[in-house]
Copies of this chain bind each other. A is one copy, B any other.
Amino acid sequence: MRYELYYWPSIQGRGEFVRLALEEAGAAYADVARERGTPAMMRMMESGDKPPFAPPFLKAGKLVIGQTANILLWLGPRHGLSPKAEAGRLWLHQLQLTVTDFVVEVHDTHHPLGPSLYYEDQRGPARKRTEEFLGQRVPKYLGYFEDLLKGSGGAWLTGRRLTYVDLSLFQIVDGLRYAFPRRMKAFERRIPGLVGLHDRVAARPRIKAYLASERRIAFNEDGIFRHYKELDT
């Protein structure tokens, strides 16, 4: 089956967690808004009786699935990116939802006063929020995943088989490096396991080819991970 991924065409954003899974799986998919323009995505959002609240969403035959973690929950067992047994799938989904929570907090660093205002209109609060984020929240979240990895008994977060959560953790480390290069450089000493995991994901043949291709959108200041020099102090 050829999937259709619907997401904003100019950012990695939340869609990137799905793109990485599709790429690692070697799945055939169209990145619809990139190939056919944003109006094609908007039409899909406004049609049908089950409209998603926001992108990303994935069309798989007649099924339209919204919410990043929900898409991965569905894709995982179909492409060898999650266990098939229920307990394993639930645990993995729980971890992905924890990644989701973290991603919201990443976004809040540059938009503490809300998503409808420009960054330029909330620079002061952004600095305070980022300070708290880098000082408290990054160590808490990444420390949690680092500990799980240490105890996993394998190269990946849940053991000897790579899952979609490993791909998402690659993206988290990659994004934090882009957004906060100075602070991450110092912090990475505390998460050697996750840094290793990041590198192992980046070296996987399909991911490596994807990252080198034009399909990988560059990080930029419209996405979730944004580099503002004044926040990286």
Interface residues of A (CB under 8 A from B): 49-53, 63, 65-67, 69-70, 73-74, 87, 90-91, 93-94, 97-98, 100-101, 104-105, 108, 112-117, 122, 125, 128-129, 132-133, 136-137, 141, 144, 148, 151
Contact = CB atoms under 8 A, between A and B. Distances in A.
A74 B89 CA distance: 11
A75 to B, nearest CB: 11
Contacts of A129: 112-114
List the 10 closest A-B pairs by CB distance, nearest first: A114-B132, A67-B97, A112-B112, A53-B98, A66-B94, A116-B136, A125-B125, A67-B94, A113-B128, A113-B129
Given A66-B98, A67-B94, A112-B113, 4 more contacts: A63-B87, A65-B90, A73-B93, A113-B129
Nearest to A95: B53
Contact of A65 (B94, B100, B137, B148): B94
A144 B53 contact: yes
A104 to B, nearest CB: 5
A90 B113 contact: no
Contact of A97 (B50, B69, B98, B128): B69
A129 B112 CA distance: 8
Contacts of A73: 90, 93
21 contacts: A51-B148, A52-B94, A53-B141, A63-B87, A65-B90, A65-B94, A67-B93, A67-B97, A67-B98, A97-B100, A104-B104, A105-B114, A112-B113, A112-B114, A112-B129, A113-B129, A113-B132, A114-B129, A114-B133, A114-B137, A116-B132
